[in-house]
Chain A
Amino acid sequence: MEKYHFKPKSKIKEFIGRKFIAINAYASLLAIILIFIFIFKESIPIFTDADVKEEASVGKMVLKQHYYPDRPAKWSWQPNSEVPKFSLLPLFIGSIKAAIIAMLFAVPLALGAAIYVSEFASQRMREIIKPIIEILSGIPSVVLGFFALIVLATILQKIFGFTSRLNAINAGIALGLAVIPIVFTIAEDAMRAVPRSLRDASLALGANPWQVSSTVVLPAAFPGIAAGIILGFGRAVGETMIVLMASGNAAIISASFTDSIRTFAATIAAEMGEVVFGSTHYNVLFFIGTLLFVLTFLINLGGDLVLVKLKEKLQGKLS
């Protein structure tokens, strides 16, 4: 028999290896902290610098402003005009409008598809539908934006006769295509995580498959469905290229969904390239970035908490 040589255990090597792996594991945490610090750092002058505050204090970005003495006060985003105007309200309205349309379009479709896949579809159908959703999620957002700009906008205008070709509805639908895979995946996961015992019990009591779904599976999976919608909303608020290309980028305050819109994310993308380094405009764009970061951070945190609770509920108490 061959003699086997054990390598001696080196405690130092183990220790260094462990520490090296651990350091790398903290990279994500470090990244999140650095992102916040470096985005926020560039927006600090808004709170401290007198010259910057003169043009764009938090109050001026939120409240109505008298830009010209002879004209009524208004909210306006015109950072490059002679009197720079930095009201965030038009951008806020644009972001919300795009997100609302996206959710109205995406949530029913995504949930419908998720229910179909988890409750009705045969194994073969499942194997066809799931890759379809994965392909949709694999389409780069710039391609979705391109499609909305060149094709979808023309189709929608022909059907509905919009005055502005690029508008909230056009951008929202394209945005919805990016949201569908997120809502679908999380909702479908939640439905499939409902323990078999619950379904079986319900079936044994004489319920038919749809009764099992609607009274047992969907209520049990509800937190997961909610989390999917929350995380999808986070994506809709933060998505850049689609709205940049498909929304028309006009900072208008209106309640109409057929007007052009300009969102927070698209504003940063469109204006950061030409902004003077260190100017008020530069600080304001980073401030918008900070807002987006904090907003999506809270949305994601909320979504994750709901998912963790769901996991505990399904694995712990019920099964």
Chain B
Amino acid sequence: MRDTIDKLTTPHSDIVNTVVNPKSTGKIPKGLTLLSVLIIAGMLALILSNVIYHGLGAISWDFLTLPPQNGMEGGGIFPAIFGTAALVILMTIAVVPIGVLTAIYLQEYTRPTSLVTRVIRMAINNLAGVPSIVFGLFGLGFFVGFIGHGIDKIFYSGTRPVWGQPAIIWAALTMALLTLPVVIVSTEEALKAIPREIKEASYALGATKLQTIMKIIVPQALPGILTGAILAVNRGAGEVAPIMFTGAAYYLPYLPTKLNDQFMEMGYHIYVMATQSPNIEATKPILYGTVLVLLTLTLLLNFVAIYIRSNIRRRRIHA
């Protein structure tokens, strides 16, 4: 009886029934998909527990504040921590203003369907997908080779390069390009979350577009901008390929104090210690210690960013 009614009301029910097995309850798919979640979580747990287990013993006040000794088999990693911090600070100064202004332009000045927006958006998406090693090549060819050598040719007559060599400023600018899409996307999300009424109120009071942006929109979007900056720092602190030829050095007896100094960096330090150490067993504790410090730093930044972002999202839902 039911079959007949089905056929009468929905003529395609036969087809539907061949696709869907009416007896399938979904227990097996649910189990299988849950299994993949568990495998991913398991791999993550393995990585984190391994690093914490082996790394925790190496962490001490000396480890964080002393330079390396005995060919990386003793001492600490202070210059690498300092260099990483200097790198991401310079990078943030370069990337945040450009990223925020781009997001403002896309959200406030152009229609989403206009050609300009589409082209810029396509460029941002592609920039986000360029392999990090290509950024490294670009930094070498453009910042070090073109800009740096150019400055040397115009302002310095000596034979030794002043700016036309790997330096922290070139590494930071390369990293700024790499992290630009991160800042733009985060800021845009924050701009979208600002209620229309606030902007309209501002216009209704006679404020111009620029005044509205500077006084209303940017302050409202600050948490999102902050999230973007944190995610950019997180990314910049972890990437190694872009800085390999643009400024990072394995060992330096001094800290970078000028923009054209080379610098030590934690990720690069890990790479060289792990692959080029003559005695891997002797460097292992320091290696694990460095990995733990880098991982702690990036994961902390990540958590802060996730926290701020979830607050923004919640606000958008309630607004």
Contacts and interface: CB of A to CB of B under 8 A. Distances in A.
Is B truly associated with A? yes
Interface of A: 6-7, 9-10, 13-14, 17-18, 20-22, 24-29, 31-32, 34-35, 38-39, 41-42, 108-113, 115-117, 119-120, 129, 131-136, 138-147, 149-151, 177, 180, 207-211, 213-215, 231, 234-235, 237-241, 244-245, 265, 268-269, 272-273, 285-286, 289, 292-293, 296-297, 299-301, 304
A149 B133 contact: no
Contacts, number: 272
Contact of A116 (B30, B51, B271, B294): B30
A142 B284 CA distance: 15
Interface of B: 16, 19-20, 24-26, 29-30, 32-37, 39-41, 43-44, 46-47, 50-51, 97-98, 101-102, 104-106, 109, 119-120, 122-138, 140-142, 145-146, 177, 180-181, 184, 206, 208-211, 213, 234, 237-241, 244-245, 267-268, 270-271, 274-275, 284, 287, 291, 294-295, 298-299, 301-302, 306
B242 to A, nearest CB: 9
Contact of B274 (A110, A150, A234): A150
Contacts of B24: 208, 210-211
A318 to B, nearest CB: 18
Nearest to B290: A146
B298 A138 contact: yes
B114 to A, nearest CB: 12
B256 to A, nearest CB: 19
B138 A265 contact: no
A125 B131 CA distance: 33
B299 A143 contact: no
A141 B130 contact: no
B39 A109 contact: yes
B60 to A, nearest CB: 21
Top 7 A-B pairs ranked by shortest CB distance?
A: A210-B26, A140-B238, A238-B131, A112-B36, A116-B33, A25-B105, A24-B101
27 contacts: A9-B208, A14-B208, A14-B210, A22-B109, A25-B120, A28-B184, A31-B177, A39-B138, A42-B137, A117-B37, A133-B40, A136-B44, A138-B299, A140-B239, A144-B47, A147-B50, A149-B274, A150-B287, A211-B26, A213-B29, A238-B131, A239-B131, A239-B132, A241-B132, A269-B136, A272-B244, A272-B245
Contacts of A147: 47, 50-51
A231 B131 CA distance: 12
Contact of B134 (A22, A141, A293, A299): A293
Contacts of A244: 271, 275
Given A31-B127, A110-B36, A289-B133, 4 more contacts: A24-B102, A120-B26, A151-B50, A238-B134
A214 B209 contact: no
Nearest to A249: B275
Contacts of A132: 37, 40-41, 44
A175 to B, nearest CB: 12
